[in-house]
Amino acid sequence: MERVSSLQTPQDRDEVLRLLGPPVEGLVKRDTRTRHALLSLASVCGTYPTGLADLLEVLERLEGPDSSPYALWRRRSSTTAPDRRSRTRRRVRRRRRRPIRRG
């Protein structure tokens, strides 16, 4: 992530956050140090089901799909982080209610 040009400066990161919108924009800690700011951005985006996918979409709009650091990061993130939307939901078994015994 540190090599993506749209995430290099605080001003560029603010633009990415503006495009991501709330609630991510308000929760990411702003820091002049790139690594700390990116860790905050990744952790906040990771808490939402589509957060990382939204971040990738914004970066693709800003960087273009042919940007080499962006393409490398996209390949790595797609192999290491499963897409939460594709998970199947587990069926929850309901306990059978026993009739009330009166006696």
pLDDT digits (tens, 9 = 90+) for 31-84: 889 899 999 999 999 998 888 888 888 888 888 877 766 666 667 666 554 444
66 within domain boundaries: yes
| 102 within domain boundaries | no
pTM, rounded to two decimals: 0.62
**Distance separating alpha carbons of residues 18 and 39, to the nearest angstrom:** 17
The total number of structural domains in the chain stands at: 1
Min mean pLDDT across 20-29, 30-39, 63-72, 87-96 is at: 87-96
Q: Quote the domain boundaries for residue 20.
A: 5-83
DSSP 4-63: -GGGSSHHHHHHHHHHH-TTHHHHSPP-SSHHHHHHHHHHHHHTSTTHHHHHHHHHHHHH
